[in-house]
Structure 1
């Protein structure tokens, strides 16, 4: 979605705060949007105290992750 898009039909925001966080094995993650009808979708995160790629057995301190998913049906009627 871009700045010129209409408002999303779904706008999901989550925040995780942790004093310390450690991964014994770095996770693999992805977001997939599927199904019908057609949609515009975007997701992303803003991290504090946590790199984009974490390392095994490293303790990260004072961590915050803000995560957002937005989706809008294409050609959906506008309701006010």
Structure 2
């Protein structure tokens, strides 16, 4: 599936400076009738894959995208 499914959501955040005081794991879970091609992901600029608490990162951007194709109703 391309990342432009019939149902999609995207969000972006940019910051001159960003400091993480508390670092937690995150997860996206699809429930209900989401198709097998459901997809979620991020693109990060100015941030490492794993951030370090207390470190200030500069000129950062995070783009988040989630897309899905719903399965046809089997009635």
Please name the residue that 1:60 is paired with: 57
CA distance in 2, matches of 1:14, 1:38: 20
Q: Determine which of 61, 64, 71 is the counterpart of 1:74.
A: 71
Structure 1: any 5+ residue segments left out of the alignment? Answer: none
Please name the residue that 1:25 is paired with: 22
Q: CA deviation at 1:25?
A: 1.7
Measured against aligned partners, the alpha-carbon deviations of 1:35-79 in whole angstroms (never above 9, x if no partner) come to: 1x2413101111100112111111010000111000101247xxx
Structure 2: any 5+ residue segments left out of the alignment? Answer: none
User: Structure 2-normalised TM-score?
Assistant: 0.82
Matched position secondary structure for 1:26? coil
CA distance in 1, matches of 2:31, 2:64: 19
- Between the two proteins, the alignment pairs up a number of residues equal to 72
User: Structure 1-normalised TM-score?
Assistant: 0.77
Question: Deviation above 6 Å: which 4+ runs of structure 1?
Answer: none
